[in-house]
Amino acid sequence: MFKILKKEEMGNNVYGFDVFAPRVAKKAEAGQFFIVRQGEDYERIPLTIADFDREKGTITMIFQVVGACTKALSLLNVGDELTDIVGPLGKPTEIENYGKIVVVGGGVGIAPIYPIARALRAAGNEVTAIIGARTKDLLFWEDKMAAVSDRLLIATDDGSAGRKGFVTQVLEDLIKEEEIRRVWAIGPMIMMRAVANMTRTYKVPTIVSMNPIMVDGTGMCGACRVSVDGKTKFACVDGPEFDGHAIDFDLAMKRAAVFKNDEKLAMDALENRLKGGSCTCHSK
Amino acid sequence: MSQQVGRVAMPAQDPEIRNKNFSEVALGYSEEMALIEASRCLICKNPQCVKGCPVEVNIPGFIQKLRDKDMDGAVKELKNKNNLPAVCGRVCPQETQCEAKCIKGIKGEPVAIGRLERYVADWDLARGMEMPTKAEPKHKKVAVVGAGPAGLTAAGDLAKMGYDVTIFESLHTPGGVLMYGIPEFRLPKAIVQKEIDYIRALGVDIQTNVVAGKTVLIDELLNEEGYECVFIGTGAGLPHFMDIPGENLNGVYSANEFLTRSNLMKAYRFPESLTPIHAGKRVAVIGGGNVAMDAARTALRLGAEESWIIYRRSEEEMPARIEEVEHAKEEGVHFQLLTSPIELKGDENMNLVSMICQRYELGEPDASGRRKPIPIEGDVFEMNVDTVVMAIGNGANPLVTSTTPGLMITKRGNIQADEETGETSRKGVYAGGDIVTGAATVILAMGAGKSAARAIDEYLSK
C-alpha cells in the first residue's frame, strides 16, 4: 500500500500528493511516468512524475480533476493509502548538455517539466523556463521552477501574472533573439501542438510528452498508440516523450476523446458510491 | 455403471442466455456424472495419457481415487504435479494432449480427463483446500518474474521444495493471462484467485506493481536483493497490429486491450467499475485463435448486435480449440472466413465506420504446415463495423531482455532457453512460457515452469 504523506491544493482542481513508493522513487528519472490505482474498481491512471526523493522514498504526483477517478483521488487526505502505484514507466528524458534550452510548462504541465528542467540544468544546460496558465491563481511552483532555471518567464492569458498572452508567444520572442538549441513543452495537447507548430518554422528541435489513454503502461495493450512520422508507436514504452514535429496531434486529440461520453456515467456512479449508495447494476 | 459408451456430456448454460451474461458457460459435472465418466477409464498400466500431460499428472491415479470416492486422495494425486488444477481443468486443450493419447479414443471417445480434473479440483476448492506438507526450509531465495501460469507453477513447486520464493508481478493483480486475458465466462476469476491463494499459502510472497526491467532489474535481484536464482516468465506481452491504414482509429483495439479492460478492469460492470469499454454494435475480431474467440464472445456479452470472426484461412486451419469455435457459433458469433482486412475507414472524428476486406483462397501448405492463404485479385468488399479487435498474436515484450546484459534472445526477441531446463545464457537465470516459446498455451507455460523449478533445485543443490 502506498501512503499519502503530503497533500497540496494548487487551485483550479489541481492537487498534489507526496506518496511513499520507495521502489518507484529509487528508479525514477525525469520524464518518466507511473500508474496509480486508488483501489478496487478504480481505473489505472497514468501520471508523469512531478518529483521524487530517493532518500525519503517518495514520489510527487500532481493531477487535475478531469473525471470520476481523479475526482475520487482528490478527496483523499494525508494518511490515506493508494492500493497501487507502478513505475517508473517509459523512457527518461534524454539529458545531455545541449547548451541553451527552454522548457515550457502549461497549466498542470508545469509539474512534469520541473524535474526535467532540474536534470537539464544539472547537466550544464542554460535553462530558461516558461510557465503559463489562464490566470495567476492557476499557476503553481513558481519558486521551485525559479530554483532550477537560469531564468523564469511567466505568461497568463489575462495578464494577471507575467506577460499577457500565450507561452508560445514568449517562446517565439526568445527564439527570434537567441540561439535556442532545444525546447521541451508539456501541457494540454493544444498547447504542445501550438508550440511544436511554431518551433517547426524556426527548426528548433522540440520534445513533447504525450499522456494518452493507457491500461497497463508496459506495452501490453497498445491503447496508447500515437503516430510519429506516420509510424505507430506505443507512448508507454517508446515514449512518453516524442519529437513534437513528428507527432500527429490531430489523431492524438481525437483518440484522447474516445471515452468522453462515458464520463458522466462514471461520475454519477462515483457520486452514488461516495454517498454510500449501493450499486444498481445487479438488481435490474 | 461401466455401460456408458460415449463420454458424459458437460452441462452448460443455454447459448441464448449465456451470450448475455458473464457467468461460466460450462457448469461442471455432478458427482454422479463424474463417477460415470471415471468408470470409463481403463486405468492403463502403461498410461499414454500421462505422456500427453506437460505437467505429468498421474491421470489414472487420480481417476482411480475418484472412482473409489477417495476425494482427498484424488486431490493429493492431482496437486502432487499440478499447482493450478481448477484452471487446467477448464482451459487446457486436452483434446490435443492427454485425451489425444487415451486408448479409449482409438475406437470411440477418450475419457473426459479435463472435466474430471475440474470436478476434483472444484471439490477441493469448495472444501477450502488442504495444504501439502512443506519440505524443510532451504534458506535460499529464488525470484520469479511474472505471476502468470509459468511463474505461479515454478513458484509453487519451488516453495514445496523449501525455497523462499518471491514473485514480482507488473500488474496490480497476480494471475497474468488467467486474469487479464481469459474471460470470466470461461475461467471465473474467483477460481483463479483461489488457486493463487493456494500458491501464497505454500509460502510464496507475491509482490504486485513491480515491473522487471523498470522498477527492478534482473541483475539487481541477483546482486543486491539476495536472490540466488531468477525465473523469468513474463509472457508474450506486445500485441501485433496488421500495419494497415486506419489502424489507429477510435474503435480499433488490440485483443489484449479489449480483454484486459473487460476481464482485469471489469469494464463489463461499467460504470460500477470505472474503466470504460466500447463494444460497439458491429464488431469484427481479426484472427482465428482462442483469443479471437474470447474477444468475439465477450463483444456479444457487452451488448454488440453482431460479432464477427474474420480469418484469412478456412475453419480447418483455425488454431482455436474446436470447443471454443463451437461455443462461439452456438452463441451467435458469425464467421467470415478466407478474408482479411486491408484498410480501416473512419469518420471526421476518427471513429471507425467500416473495413475494406480482401478475400483469399487456399494454396499449398506453408512452413506451419497449414495451407497458405492467397489473395484473390480484385475480390474486395466493404463491411460496416464500429469496432475491430486485432487478435493476431503477440510478440515478445523487450522490457526484461533489453535491460539484462548477456541474456541471449532469438531473432524474434524471445529468450533463448533450454527446452528441458529453462536455462538461459546467464548463470542462475531461467526462463519459460511464452517469453521463450512465443504465444502458446497455459499448460505449456506451466510445464516450462515445472521443469525450470526442477532445474533450479538441481542447480542450487550443487
Q: Is A163 exposed, middle or buried (0-12, 13-18, 19+ CB in 10 A)?
A: middle
Nearest Cα of chain A lies from the Cα of B439 at a distance, in angstroms, of: 13
Q: Does the pLDDT of residue B4 top 80, yes or no?
A: no
Q: Does the pLDDT of residue B5 top 60, yes or no?
A: yes
Q: Does the pLDDT of residue B409 top 50, yes or no?
A: yes
pLDDT band at B440 (very low <50, low <70, confident <90, very high): confident
Q: Tell which CATH classification among 3.10.20.30, 3.40.50.80, 2.40.50.140, 3.40.50.2300 matches the domain A100-209.
A: 3.40.50.80
Q: Please answer yes or no on whether A266 and B247 come within 8 Å at the CB atom.
A: no
pLDDT band at B131 (very low <50, low <70, confident <90, very high): confident
Pick the residue of B145, B208, B214 with the most A CBs within 10 A to test the interface with A by mutation. B214
What lies within 8 Å, CB to CB, of B35 at 6+ separation is B1, B66, B67, B69
Q: Which residues of B touch A219 (CB under 8 A)?
A: 237-238, 397-399
pLDDT of amino acid B128:
85
Listed in order, the ranges of chain A carrying CATH 2.40.30.10 are: 2-91
Q: Please answer yes or no on whether B270 and A265 come within 8 Å at the CB atom.
A: yes
- Whether residue B95 contacts residue B89, with contact meaning beta carbons closer than 8 Å, is answered with no
B337-361 mean pLDDT: 97
Q: Please answer yes or no on whether B211 and A218 come within 8 Å at the CB atom.
A: yes
| Rg of chain A in Å (alpha carbons) | 19
CA dist B367 and B182 (Å) reads 29
CA dist B292 and B313 (Å) reads 14
Residue type, A77: N
Q: Which residue has the higher pLDDT, A155 or B129?
A: A155
B143-157 mean pLDDT: 96
What are A220's three cell numbers? 501490453
Q: Does the pLDDT of residue B344 top 70, yes or no?
A: yes
A51-53 β-sheet, strand order = A51-53, A58-64, A14-20, A2-11, A81-82
**In this complex, is the C-beta atom of A94 within 8 Å of any C-beta atom belonging to chain B?**
no
What are B210's three cell numbers? 513491480
pLDDT in tens, B54-72: 999 999 999 999 999 999 9
Q: pTM, whole model, 2 decimals?
A: 0.95
**In this complex, is the C-beta atom of A44 within 8 Å of any C-beta atom belonging to chain B?**
yes
Q: Which residues of A touch B208 (CB under 8 A)?
A: 84
Q: Which of B211, B270, B271 sits opposite A86 (nearest CB)?
A: B211
CA dist B383 and B61 (Å) reads 53
Size of interface A-B (CB pairs under 8 A): 124
Q: Which of A86, A225, A237 sits opposite B209 (nearest CB)?
A: A86
Q: Please answer yes or no on whether B210 and A220 come within 8 Å at the CB atom.
A: no
pLDDT band at B125 (very low <50, low <70, confident <90, very high): very high
Mean pLDDT of chain A: 94
φ, ψ dihedrals at A282, nearest 5°: -95, -5
pLDDT of amino acid A277:
55
Q: Please answer yes or no on whether A215 and B209 come within 8 Å at the CB atom.
A: no
CA dist A133 and A174 (Å) reads 19
pLDDT band at B375 (very low <50, low <70, confident <90, very high): very high
**What ipTM does the predicted assembly reach?**
0.94
CA dist A208 and A196 (Å) reads 8
Q: Does the pLDDT of residue B407 top 80, yes or no?
A: yes
pLDDT of amino acid B134:
75
pLDDT of amino acid B3:
61
pLDDT of amino acid B129:
76
B103-123 mean pLDDT: 95
Q: Does the pLDDT of residue B89 top 60, yes or no?
A: yes
**In this complex, is the C-beta atom of A82 within 8 Å of any C-beta atom belonging to chain B?**
no
- Whether residue B363 contacts residue B371, with contact meaning beta carbons closer than 8 Å, is answered with yes
Q: Which residues of B touch A227 (CB under 8 A)?
A: 248
B281-310 mean pLDDT: 97
Q: Please answer yes or no on whether A86 and B215 come within 8 Å at the CB atom.
A: yes
- Whether residue B131 contacts residue B202, with contact meaning beta carbons closer than 8 Å, is answered with yes
pLDDT band at A273 (very low <50, low <70, confident <90, very high): confident
Please provide the DSSP assignment of B342-395 as one string: EEEEE-TT-BEEEEEEEEEEEEEE-TTSSEEEEEEEEEEEEEE-SEEEE-S-EE
Q: Does the pLDDT of residue A1 top 90, yes or no?
A: no
pLDDT of amino acid A11:
83
pLDDT of amino acid A279:
47
pLDDT of amino acid B1:
47
What are B344's three cell numbers? 480501416
Q: Please answer yes or no on whether B248 and A255 come within 8 Å at the CB atom.
A: yes
Q: Does the pLDDT of residue A283 top 60, yes or no?
A: no
B148-171 mean pLDDT: 96
pLDDT band at A168 (very low <50, low <70, confident <90, very high): very high
pLDDT of amino acid B317:
92
Q: Does the pLDDT of residue B38 top 50, yes or no?
A: yes
Q: Does the pLDDT of residue A7 top 70, yes or no?
A: yes
Helix B149-161 to helix B442-461 angle (10° resolution) is 30
Q: Which of A23, A69, A281 sits opposite B210 (nearest CB)?
A: A23
Q: Which residues of B touch A279 (CB under 8 A)?
A: 272
Listed in order, the ranges of chain A carrying CATH 3.40.50.80 are: 100-209
**In this complex, is the C-beta atom of A247 within 8 Å of any C-beta atom belonging to chain B?**
no
pLDDT of amino acid B132:
74
**In this complex, is the C-beta atom of A43 within 8 Å of any C-beta atom belonging to chain B?**
yes
Pick the residue of A216, A226, A250, A283 with the most B CBs within 10 A to test the interface with B by mutation. A216
Q: Does the pLDDT of residue B2 top 60, yes or no?
A: no
Q: Does the pLDDT of residue B458 top 50, yes or no?
A: yes
Q: Tell which CATH classification among 3.40.30.10, 1.20.1050.10, 1.10.1740.10, 2.40.30.10 matches the domain A2-91.
A: 2.40.30.10
Q: Which residue has the higher pLDDT, B371 or B175?
A: B175
Q: Does the pLDDT of residue A281 top 50, yes or no?
A: no
CA dist B406 and A188 (Å) reads 41
φ, ψ dihedrals at B235, nearest 5°: 80, -175
Q: Which residues of A touch B172 (CB under 8 A)?
A: 37, 44, 83-84, 86
Please give the torsion angle defined by the CA atoms of residues B408, B414, B416 and B422, in that order, rounded to the nearest 10 degrees.
130
**In this complex, is the C-beta atom of A262 within 8 Å of any C-beta atom belonging to chain B?**
yes
A255-263 mean pLDDT: 91
Residues in chain B: 462
pLDDT in tens, A53-65: 999 999 999 999 9
Helix A249-256 to helix A189-202 angle (10° resolution) is 180
φ, ψ dihedrals at B193, nearest 5°: -60, -40
Best CA proximity match to B91, nearest among B200, B219, B186? B186
